[in-house]
Amino acid sequence: MKLVVGHLFPDYLNIYADRGNIAVLARRAAWRGHELEVRPLGAGGALSQGEHDLFYIGGGQDREQELIAPALAALGDGLRASVAKGAALLAVCGGYQLLGRSYRDQSGEELPGVGLLPLHTVAGERRMIGDVLLECELEPGRRRTLAGFENHAGRTYLDEGAEPLGRVLAGFGNDGASGYEGCRVGRAIGTYLHGPLLPRNSWLADWLLAQAIAHRTGEAPALEPLEDDLEAEAHEVSAARARSRGGRY
């Protein structure tokens, strides 16, 4: 099966090797006999409904976010409609912030957001940096951990009733106070976890692939397990670093 990924503004939003997330998705898809076709989406791009099975947007500094925010917001109608019709999405750090309603940066400028995720972000004075560990439950009754690295000044505030990606076990999370990190709407998730995220969290990569396949077939498959010894070790190393910081909540 061919799965189509829309990579949003890859030339601007690729801090901390976030592009590596695409490489992981492509390799894990290929190992199972699927082809991942990655199509860059930038300024002036257009979205045809049903064309993309998965969207990805990485992180960037305030300057890059300022440059692309209006063009990204112009894709908002298409992105919201695509996710509403079952496309999957992963947004990291700066991309996560811009998929909310707005981001007020360090200079006080209000950058427009896509409005896909029920949240807004305001830059704070102190950066929140370090390894982070989450407990997530993307499938009912199945709790798993996500490990990564966060480095953000933004304080992201979820709307009342919005679903976070996970509960913070160690680290700062969305705002350094709520005890939650990220946000989820259907098959779309946003998070501050860098590193890149997917090499050390293979289960999340497979969850995203299954959701992308479900966009094509109507049902998320049980993917054939892979030999993930190295990935599991990378996860444990990252998780141990986060735990050494101590729980904050």
Residue of 7, 34, 52, 93 marked catalytic: 93
C-alpha pair distances (Å), 29 with each of 25, 36, 158, 222, 233: 6, 7, 32, 13, 21
Task: Give, to the nearest 10 degrees, the angle between helix 202-217 and helix 20-30.
Answer: 60
Q: Are 148 and 201 in contact (CB under 8 A)?
A: yes
Q: Is the peptide bond before 140 cis (omega within 30 degrees of 0)?
A: no
Q: How many CB atoms lie within 10 A of CB 243?
A: 15
Q: How many CB atoms lie within 10 A of CB 132?
A: 31
Q: What is the pLDDT of residue 249?
A: 42
CATH number for the domain harbouring residue 105: 3.40.50.880
Residue of 7, 52, 194, 215 marked catalytic: 194
Q: Are 56 and 90 in contact (CB under 8 A)?
A: yes
> Is 136 among the catalytic positions?
no
Q: How many CB atoms lie within 10 A of CB 206?
A: 22
Q: What is the pLDDT of residue 247?
A: 56
Separation CA 197–CA 204 (nearest Å)? 9
The DSSP 8-state label assigned to residue 223 in this structure reads P
Separation CA 91–CA 43 (nearest Å)? 18
The DSSP 8-state label assigned to residue 163 in this structure reads B
> Is 93 among the catalytic positions?
yes
Residue 137: which domain range? 2-245
Is the pTM here over 0.75, yes or no?
Answer: yes
Q: What is the pLDDT of residue 45?
A: 76
Q: Is 126 exposed, middle or buried (0-12, 13-18, 19+ CB in 10 A)?
A: exposed
3-class secondary-structure state, position 179:
coil
Separation CA 104–CA 235 (nearest Å)? 33
Nearest Cα residue to 95 out of 45, 56, 122, 131: 56
Element (DSSP H or E) covering residue 199: none
Q: What is the pLDDT of residue 195?
A: 82
pLDDT in tens, the chain (249 residues): 999 999 999 999 888 778 899 999 999 999 999 999 999 998 887 788 899 999 999 998 889 999 999 999 999 999 999 999 999 999 999 999 999 999 999 889 999 999 999 999 999 999 999 999 999 999 999 999 999 999 999 999 999 999 999 999 999 999 999 999 999 999 999 999 998 899 999 999 999 999 999 999 999 999 999 999 999 999 999 999 999 986 554
Question: Cα angle vertex 181, ends 180, 184, to 5°?
Answer: 105
Q: What is the pLDDT of residue 246?
A: 67
Number of structural domains, the chain?
1
Separation CA 79–CA 186 (nearest Å)? 13
Q: What is the pLDDT of residue 118?
A: 98
Neighbouring-strand partners of residue 36: 3
